[in-house]
Structure 1
Amino acid sequence: MSRPLNLVVLGLSLSSSWGNGHATTYRALLKALAARGHDILFLERDVPWYAEHRDLAEPGFCRFALYPDLNGLESHRAAIAAADAVIVGSYVPDGIAVGDRVRDWAHGLCAFYDIDTPVTLARLQAGDCAYLARRQIAAYDLYLSFTGGPTLRLLEETYGAPAARALYCSVDRDAYPALERAARYDLSYLGTYSPDRQPTLERLLIEPARRAPDLRFCVAGPQYPDEIDWPENVTRIAHLPPDAHPEFYAASRYTLNVTRADMIRAGYSPSVRLFEAACIGTPIISDTWDGLDTILTPGSEILTADAPEDVLTILRLQPDAVRQRIGSAARARVLAHHSATRRAAELEGILHACVATRTSVHPMLKEEVGA
């Protein structure tokens, strides 16, 4: 392992997993980075909707601080200036202003971690991205992208990113062990309501539930509109904290992976829920998108469906031995390639390489970053 780094991360949330997938992504990654000896400070904007739903107020793997507003960042200016690398995440409130301040204050590497890359690029095209300005992409030393594939070249060649690197989400294998539980649901789905995911959820879970009243379904996650017509055999759970996710997946014969429209268009955008379910050993039925086969192999590690009939065929006709074999194969693949330990090592390598490149271009920075 290379020398330990002093890192500052400004992200959407670490303390609350309510209504977002960022918190579990940061928790897994930062815990694994800390285990590799790195010193981390996470800065989170104190907002009321997360304050009401905090499920990790005091993380044990990093230093953590809330700041009330932009002016409140001033108290962390020295830490930002002293860091080997500062990472600003997507969807940070006032993210454009936060990014500008980080660029002004930091002496070390400045990176942007986009856990929503296709959504970000779509919003930049529309001119309504509140957390990143197009001019900032070239100003950050490193663009860490939730999305891989052709999007990385687009970021560098069209948007001017000095270095765009894939940093997929991951799963903490200790928090998501293989579990065997009696099945409560034939098909489940865990995710916050999103208008662009809802048609797929309707097609691949709600409609199958209507056609198969003898089967059991469940949708867990907040912010679903009251007007949705849920069939009687669909159980609704308003919110599941991360420590309840393993039991939820283990109690599902299959679970559904639904991808946002922008992510489908870009491809190569696996969700954290996909990795979590696979790590438990629960077989996954997914919509299809370019690059899925680079994450899990369709047919042997994951199943795909386009229509209600595809889902019902799987639920009714798939032999249980085949179901279990698919779940086990997915778990083995995710543990080998998408664990938080693996992802932390990847990020460590990326950061050290970028720091080395940056100091070779700017020799005066060598003393500042401890080279």
Structure 2
Amino acid sequence: MTKTIAFYGSSLLSAYWNGAATYYRGIIRALARRGYQTTFYEPDVWDRQKNRDIDPPDWARVVVYDGTVEALRKVAAEAARYDIVVKASGVGFEDDLILSEVMTAARPGALRIFWDVDAPHTLGEIRQAPDHALRRWLPDLDMVLTYGGGDPVVEQYRAFGARACVPVYNALDPSTHHPVAPEPRFACDLAFLGNRLPDRDERVAEFFTRAAGLLPDQRFILGGNGWHDVAMPANVQKLGHVPTADHNALNCSPRMVLNVARDSMAVNGFSPATRVFEAAGAGACLVTDAWEGIELFLQPDEEVLVARDGQDVAEAVRTVSPDRARAIGQAALARVLAHHTYDQRAEQADALFQAHAARQGAAA
């Protein structure tokens, strides 16, 4: 089996308004170590190219195309040259057209994949639109891969006509996310890093803002885009966009780090965000809002603290000592290094690709 991949996604080079960047980088870099040659096609939209946080890597070829339909069609036609063609969710520019163009261009026998980095959102769109482009394409695609969701997502995709749906979860790349020396500028009792999104506002207000208001003598840090005009208690410092180069320090410097899932991901469960593994990989003491399936990734009370509401978050910040916080963080680091790295996810993806190739060979 030859191993060339055309991957059409949001951005590999920029994490700006692009929460999937860490996932793309981890998976594609790990696949490269298994002999896959990936070309990543990303549109020049949303100011991402002005906010690159990595240079073009040696483990993937990156093609940046203009945000025009003409440029899109030109790069989509290149899908015909590859063994595996991937259309990711949430490209942010003409998603339906990209899906149609690249899957139509894929050569006979190529493995055609829809790789969903926000399955709850995508499935919600499909439910509301019977003529949704992805819904029409699902029966013709070879598989759907998701970076979260578990059985509920798999069952919904199968009900909509997907031949196969397999979660390939977020994970840790220890070469990029790891413990570093703490930095005074990020020192605080609790930090949360996440862009502001409509279906996360209420949960952030409960789990972060309310907790900060309950502990006026403790220091809180809020990083990410979109929070500049949101009222916060006086003990909250807003950082704005935090480049990925600073993520390790931001995770290593606070006493505790918070994860807040978006509404849809919390409801579906089994959807750990990239920040969960970034924080665990840095040895941070992670506090997460409650969602089904957390124990699949980290053991509550031993490797992660689970909060039902802002009161629980405040209680953890108030009572967990620095020594216990360090012990929880070290246990989390050991767990993710042993069971949740992108090398392990790439091994899973490789097995899926190889099994498909074997089935095709048997059929031929």
TM range (shorter): over 0.9
Report what 1:274 is aligned to.
276
2 CA distance for matches of 1:235 and 1:15? Answer: 28
Gaps of 5+ in 2: none
Q: Give the C-alpha shift of residue 152 in structure 1.
A: 4.5
Q: Give the C-alpha shift of residue 202 in structure 1.
A: 1.5
1 CA distance for matches of 2:45 and 2:326? Answer: 42
Q: Give the C-alpha shift of residue 35 in structure 1.
A: 2.0
Q: Give the C-alpha shift of residue 333 in structure 1.
A: 1.2
2 CA distance for matches of 1:169 and 1:252? Answer: 23
2 CA distance for matches of 1:48 and 1:245? Answer: 22
Report what 1:18 is aligned to.
16
Q: Give the C-alpha shift of residue 180 in structure 1.
A: 4.2
1 CA distance for matches of 2:268 and 2:106? Answer: 32
Q: Cα–Cα, structure 1 residues 171 and 4, in superposed 2: closer, same or farther, change >3 Å?
A: farther
Contact 2:113 2:144 in 1 (8 A): yes
1 CA distance for matches of 2:283 and 2:9? Answer: 30
Amino acid corresponding to residue 7 of structure 1 in structure 2: I
Q: Is 1:187 paired with 2:187?
A: no
Q: Deviations over 1:209-235 (max 9, x none)?
A: 222221110010002251x21112111
> TM-score under structure 2 normalisation?
0.93
Report what 1:83 is aligned to.
82
Report what 2:223 is aligned to.
220
Report what 2:70 is aligned to.
71
Q: Is 1:119 paired with 2:117?
A: no
Contact 1:19 1:223 in 2 (8 A): no
Q: How does 1:173-252 map to 2 (within 5 A)?
A: 173-181=174-182, 184-224=187-227, 226=229, 228-252=230-254
Report what 2:170 is aligned to.
169
Contact 1:70 1:98 in 2 (8 A): no
2 CA distance for matches of 1:78 and 1:267? Answer: 37
Q: How does 1:276-291 map to 2 (within 5 A)?
A: 276-291=278-293
| Worse-matched range after superposition: 168-177 or 282-291 | 168-177
Contact 1:120 1:129 in 2 (8 A): no
1 CA distance for matches of 2:249 and 2:2? Answer: 35
2 CA distance for matches of 1:48 and 1:116? Answer: 18
Report what 1:104 is aligned to.
104
Contact 1:179 1:281 in 2 (8 A): no
Report what 2:341 is aligned to.
339
2 CA distance for matches of 1:297 and 1:129? Answer: 42
Contact 1:152 1:165 in 2 (8 A): no
Q: Cα–Cα, structure 1 residues 232 and 351, in superposed 2: closer, same or farther, change >3 Å?
A: same
1 CA distance for matches of 2:130 and 2:10? Answer: 18
| Worse-matched range after superposition: 38-47 or 154-163 | 154-163
Q: How does 1:248-327 map to 2 (within 5 A)?
A: 248-327=250-329
Amino acid corresponding to residue 175 of structure 1 in structure 2: T
Q: Cα–Cα, structure 1 residues 128 and 280, in superposed 2: closer, same or farther, change >3 Å?
A: farther
Moved over 3 A (4+): 73-79, 358-361
Report what 2:6 is aligned to.
8
1 CA distance for matches of 2:126 and 2:150? Answer: 19
Contact 2:135 2:161 in 1 (8 A): no
1 CA distance for matches of 2:253 and 2:130? Answer: 41
Q: Give the C-alpha shift of residue 36 in structure 1.
A: 2.0
**Identity across the alignment (%):** 31
Report what 1:367 is aligned to.
none
Q: Alignment partner of 1:240: what SS?
A: coil
Q: Cα–Cα, structure 1 residues 83 and 256, in superposed 2: closer, same or farther, change >3 Å?
A: same
Report what 2:146 is aligned to.
145
Contact 2:148 2:170 in 1 (8 A): no
| Worse-matched range after superposition: 143-152 or 331-340 | 143-152
| Worse-matched range after superposition: 149-158 or 30-39 | 149-158
Contact 1:102 1:110 in 2 (8 A): no
Contact 1:209 1:233 in 2 (8 A): yes
Contact 2:86 2:112 in 1 (8 A): yes
Q: Is 1:357 paired with 2:355?
A: no
Aligned equivalent of 2:47, options 46, 49, 58: 49
Q: Give the C-alpha shift of residue 48 in structure 1.
A: 4.5
Q: Alignment partner of 2:5: what SS?
A: strand
